[in-house]
Amino acid sequence: MASCQSAWRDADLVVRAALISRPGGDVVVTDVELDGPGEGEVTVRVVAAGVCHTDLALVTGGLPMPMPAVLGHEGAGVIEEVGPGVSGLVPGDHVVLTVLAHCRQCAHCLAGRPYDCAVGLGATFAGQLVTGRRALSRDGALVNHFFGQSSFAQRVVVHEATAIKIDDDIDLGIACLLGCGASTGIGAVLNTGAVAPGGSVAVFGCGGVGLAAIMGAALLGANDVVAIDLRASRLAAAAKVGATQIIEAGGDVAERVLAAVPGGVDLAIDSVGHSAVVRQALSVCGPSGTALIVGAAPAGTTYELESRLFKPSRRVVGNVGGSIVPEVDIPRYARLFAAGRLPLRELVTAELGLDDVPEALRRLQNGDGIRSVIHLDGA
């Protein structure tokens, strides 16, 4: 057990959390022990957390990460304790917990690319905090963190760079979505795709990330925002958040996109994570268009792309977390939501409690709704 404790706490804090012990196993809500914050760490009382496909990928075995682990990686809450050496955060601050664990000290972080931080990535896939330790345990055995936060828990200890301060008057039940999915979608258009105002965007897959990408395209003033999905309900949601044209997936979908935007689009986003969708995305790009892979495919997935699809100068680009700088972009997106310019509330189709995490994951697996939010106040 890690020994770093806060000055006033003599024992670990017992909190309720959603725990997974093995791939394909049951998610159980149980008690775990939480260590106090160590050097550069903070304790956060979690108010709300979004339920994302990445949580489901861990449960189903599509994401090879160490277990047992506490799930959750779209948290938001209030700072309760700060450890030694923490600056810029104090108890009472409202924060969003970013999925992009980063150290703030490596060459990538200092160059403004925290999404490329090797320290954060290594810690994440080792089930650790950026500081290299685990603050969770159960019955004396260490429990792994999920993406540096494990926010399906009443309280969490995270590295200070994971806790991004936002304005106190912003609804944490919506702002939590900016921890991963919403920021990934918005940033995919504004940052990674770098679409110019008046440009054109096609989004394949209108789940939470895809709908957020549509919001980002509408925010920057894209002339054409094409939404493609199999489900009529999601296409209706896409039209509501800024899509200018909707296309039901299947058959000659690429031809229909090109008919809607003659000459092809500047940016085509795959938010599904499927090889066939990546091919479709590349095929609808204009001469210098970009196909952006945003969807999280299972580990080991390969993509087969014909050479002709790259002509004349198309490209395929990967994406991590929307290429955001969390300290800059998350507060900005939160303020845009508060000002009514990002309709993030439209993503939430279910609001549940901590005991309902297994049900929320089932809903996600069955394609029922768009985003569930777990509310932990009073849990």
pLDDT tens-digit profile of 146-199? Answer: 999 999 999 999 999 999 999 999 999 999 999 999 999 999 999 999 899 999
Q: How far apart are CA 67 and CA 22, in angstroms?
A: 6
pTM: 0.92
pLDDT of residue 309: 75
pLDDT of residue 9: 46
pLDDT of residue 7: 37
pLDDT tens-digit profile of 249-291? Answer: 988 999 999 999 999 999 999 998 788 898 899 999 999 999 9
Give the single-character DSSP code of 252: S
Q: In the chain, what are the domains?
A: 13-165+343-375 (3.90.180.10), 184-319 (3.40.50.720)
| Tokens at 103, concatenated | 């150290």
pLDDT of residue 111: 96
- Segments of the chain scoring below 70 in pLDDT: 1-11, 297-300, 378-379
pLDDT of residue 200: 97
Q: Is 151:322 a contact under the CB 8 Å cutoff?
A: no
| Identity at 257, one-letter amino acid code | V
Looking only at the bridges linking them, the beta strands covering 94-97 and 315-318 are unpaired
Q: How far apart are CA 204 and CA 348, in angstroms?
A: 20
Q: How far apart are CA 376 and CA 371, in angstroms?
A: 16
